[in-house]
Structure 1
């Protein structure tokens, strides 16, 4: 039986720079940073209160074919790669704190039917959606 999601991967341009971004700017905790066979680097971070969900900071490369690697790099350069959502109790306050730390934003906090949402970008072009959830129903979208 599946118990939870334990790992997601995010493509980054440089593992050291991404590790610094996620730990220093977002306040995540380094979980693992090791080099394994053939020089492959396995680096994960997590949100301090949820170490069970690790985020792998991965360079685009094998087992992807060269064409796919180049496509991913182009999307990262455009700043249009998907990232992941980050929950917060106060989106506007957290947004202001992160922007003050130098985190680039795509969209300032906005009221949505499901809460308050802002969109940030990591230093590799991945979108990070910051969400303060509110209770909602289908009728909130009609």
Structure 2
């Protein structure tokens, strides 16, 4: 093994998720292909070209409908572990993203020698935004 290439997130609507990650977080589309009803959609942070974030809808062909519904409910409750995004200026990123309509679950606070905030994507996936210690 040499590296992790794709980490997947379950989302309710791939187009809505794509808009959020590209327009509000500044990610770029890496792959967007369809095979019948299945869509492989990945985005990447512009400074991390080897790493992709997969935006996947639970359902066939990977999951049966009962499993897909259970996964959608878990995501909507915010029960998935948060992802972490490093930023240079947490308060500045918070102000910019709040102005774009991003739903924050925690305003920026200082702790552990840095500043962090929490937000959710439109499907309910939680994120922590942590200011780098430079």
Work out whether the TM-score is over 0.5.
Answer: yes
Among residues 36, 48, 51, which one is paired with 1:50 in the alignment? 48
Measured against aligned partners, the alpha-carbon deviations of 1:59-81 in whole angstroms (never above 9, x if no partner) come to 01242344432222112332333
Q: TM-score, normalised by structure 1?
A: 0.84
**Which runs of 5 or more structure 2 residues have no equivalent in the other structure?**
none
Moved over 4 A (4+): none
Aligned to 1:139: none
Decide which moves more: 87-96 or 60-69. 60-69
Q: Is the 8 A contact 2:118 2:128 kept in 1?
A: yes
The structure whose residues are more often helix, as a share, is 1
In 2, Cα distance between the equivalents of 1:43 and 1:89?
27
CA RMSD after TM alignment:
1.8
Which structure is higher in strand share? 1
Quick one: structure 1 residues 114 and 42, their matched pair in 2 at CA, closer, same or farther if it must change by over 3 Å?
A: farther
- How many equivalent residue pairs? 133
Structure 1 unmatched runs, 5+: 136-142
